[in-house]
């Protein structure tokens, strides 16, 4: 299964405003519920329960909140680039500005782990994060996340930047 099978273009958003981790999870749950035709409260509860086990902030300004959900038949993803980085209790304590929500069928733990691993591997690549942070719109952001983008498509003038968000602005890497 490819990331693009789980994360469709219409489920990518840029400049999402969320002042806190809890507000972000609420906004993502509402968006996912609308896309899936299910109850956002169930999604939020599943994500909140998962976060109680430990933060899903994987470092470098990236979080992958994820949870199994009994109401769905196929894995579902939603990607967001935040308007401003927020505290997320990440492993490296760096504020998060790129988030990929992952929901998978409760009965299929193998799919959950495989998709989570693929997204995590992708979002640990410095060039992917640079392109995603520089993307001019949601379509380009989506292509960067799923692996269908190039540095030329993200725009020019990226310059030399490192991996972590927030050094010289919300789209730069520190």
Q: Among 102, 83, 115, which residue's Cα sits nearest to residue 36?
A: 102
Q: What is the pLDDT of residue 162?
A: 31
For the stretch 54-109, pLDDT in tens is 999 999 999 999 999 988 999 999 999 999 999 999 999 999 999 999 999 988 78
Q: Is the Cβ–Cβ distance between 168 and 35 less than 8 Å?
A: no
Task: Decide if 66 is catalytic.
Answer: yes
The yes-or-no verdict on residue 139 having pLDDT over 90 is yes
Q: Between 12 and 171, where is the model more confident?
A: 12
Q: Give CA–CA dist 51/4, Å, rounded.
A: 25
Q: What is the pLDDT of residue 46?
A: 96
Q: What is the pLDDT of residue 25?
A: 98
Mean of per-residue pLDDT scores for the chain: 86
Mean pLDDT of 150-162: 37
Alpha helices in the chain (DSSP H): 3-6, 21-36, 40-53, 109-122, 126-134, 138-146, 151-154
Which residues does 53 contact at the CB level (< 8 Å), separation at least 6? none
Q: What is the pLDDT of residue 108?
A: 79
Q: Model's pTM, two decimal places? A: 0.84
Q: How confident is the model at residue 112 (pLDDT cuts 50, 70, 90)?
A: confident
Q: What is the pLDDT of residue 170?
A: 38
Q: Among 100, 82, 108, which residue's Cα sits nearest to residue 146?
A: 100
- Catalytic one of 21, 31, 66, 122: 66
For the chain, what are the domain ranges? 3-154
Mean pLDDT of 18-47: 97
Q: Is the Cβ–Cβ distance between 96 and 90 less than 8 Å?
A: yes
- Residues of 87-113 as b/e, b for ≥16 C-beta within 10 angstroms? ebebeeebbbbbbbbbbbbeebeebbe
Q: 3-154, what's its fold?
A: Mannitol-specific EII; Chain A (3.40.930)
Q: What is the pLDDT of residue 161?
A: 33
């Amino acid at each position: 299964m490819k990331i693009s099978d789980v994360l469709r273009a219409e489920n990518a958003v840029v400049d999402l405003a969320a002042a806190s981790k809890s507000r972000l999870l609420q906004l993502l749950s509402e968006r996912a519920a609308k896309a899936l035709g299910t109850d956002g409260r169930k999604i939020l509860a599943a994500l909140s329960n998962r976060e109680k086990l430990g933060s899903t902030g994987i470092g470098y300004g990236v979080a992958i909140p994820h949870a199994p959900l009994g109401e769905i038949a196929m894995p579902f993803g939603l990607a967001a680039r935040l308007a401003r980085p927020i505290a997320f209790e990440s492993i490296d304590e760096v504020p998060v500005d790129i988030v990929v929500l992952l929901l998978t069928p409760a009965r299929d733990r193998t799919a959950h782990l495989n998709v989570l691993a693929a997204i995590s591997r992708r979002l640990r690549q410095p060039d992917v994060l640079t392109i995603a942070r520089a993307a001019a719109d949601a379509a380009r952001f989506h292509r960067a996340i799923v692996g269908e983008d190039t540095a030329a498509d993200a725009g020019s003038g990226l310059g030399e930047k490192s991996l972590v968000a927030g050094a010289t602005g919300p789209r730069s890497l520190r």
